[in-house]
Amino acid sequence: MSIVYKDYYETMLERMPGAFLIYEAHDKGHIIYANQNLIKMFECDDFGDFLKLTNGGFKGMVYAEDYSRVQKEIWSQIDSKETDNCDYVDYRIITKYGRIVYVLDNGRLVNDPVFGDVFYVTLLSHDERGPYVMKDYSEKKIIDKRLIETEKELNQYRLKVESMELLHEVLHSGPWNIEFGEDGEAQKVSWSQVFRQMIGYKDEKDFPNKLSALLNIVHDEDRERIEDKLREVLDDKTGELAFDEEFRIRTRQKGLCWFRAAGKPARREDGTPKGFVGMFIDIDEHYHV
């Protein structure tokens, strides 16, 4: 089900007017998603080209001389508690071909069940604003018609995210995500806080975002089967195979418990995996009925 929602969200975001970005709210601001309008704004060929240009982070997007000011302004607005976790900032970017563009950034800090604290951001270049210009930053009023339309779409997306969080709560399930490099090797693993809580762990320090962290607590009799199935699904360049397995995990609070893990990789044109999203469901009660 999470794969269906993911595809729907990506389609919806690509149809949004203006440039749209999602990035993590810590460290260098790891970029999670950028729509085609943003990629074109930076005069890049595709998402991979954009990540290469920006070193994969928000810091790499912003003109170096502006970055410190921008960060201070963003967090000053967020910390003020008066903007509903929103920020409005101006800064410069440099495109792939060295062109300097002035942009307006309208962001919002949101807690994502998979990635933790992230910023959802819409960007408009100054020449895209037409006759409408935001004149009073202190009042946080956006009068650009295109930005207002984008914000409405973004609010719909947030409602979908909240619905997914409720769904996971009802199903007693926890989402997970794995990102892959162009070589097909896993680059980033993200276990949700919901899943950590399900197995008795507190945070990333307690249960790190590594595939080995999971495999280490899978029952010895199940581990080889799970590893083989994961590899089989990831190596299947046709995209027809999905991962859907039941196995035992050694939880901290309840000992061995049965879980079901289901997910399906998103693939590049050459068939190599680029992402792997799914969820864990606690099915232990079914084995003890």
Class (C level, CATH) for 172-287: alpha beta
* Signed CA dihedral, 14, 171, 176, 274: sign only: negative
pLDDT of residue 47 exceeding 80? yes
Beta strands in the chain, from DSSP E residues, in sequence order:
19-24, 31-34, 86-94, 100-112, 116-125, 173-180, 186-191, 243-251, 255-267, 273-282
Cα→Cα distances 234→111, 225, 230, 249, Å: 29, 14, 6, 22
Mind listing the pLDDT tens digit for each residue in 2-45? 444 444 455 555 555 578 899 999 878 999 989 888 999 999 99
The stretch 101-107 carries a mean pLDDT of 89
Domain boundaries along the sequence of the chain? 2-169, 172-287
CA distance 49 to 188: 19
Q: Can you give the pTM of this predicted structure?
A: 0.46
CA end-to-end span of the chain, whole Å? Answer: 26
Q: Do domains 2-169 and 172-287 have the same CATH topology?
A: yes
Mind listing the pLDDT tens digit for each residue in 116-154? 899 999 888 865 444 333 444 443 444 344 455 555 555
Tell me if the domain spanning 2-169 has CATH number 3.30.450.20.
yes
- What does the angle CA 200 – CA 172 – CA 215 come to, to the nearest 5 degrees? 50
**pLDDT (0 to 100) of residue 201:** 94
169 pLDDT band, cuts 50/70/90, is low
The stretch 152-170 carries a mean pLDDT of 51
**pLDDT (0 to 100) of residue 172:** 57
CA distance 89 to 137: 8
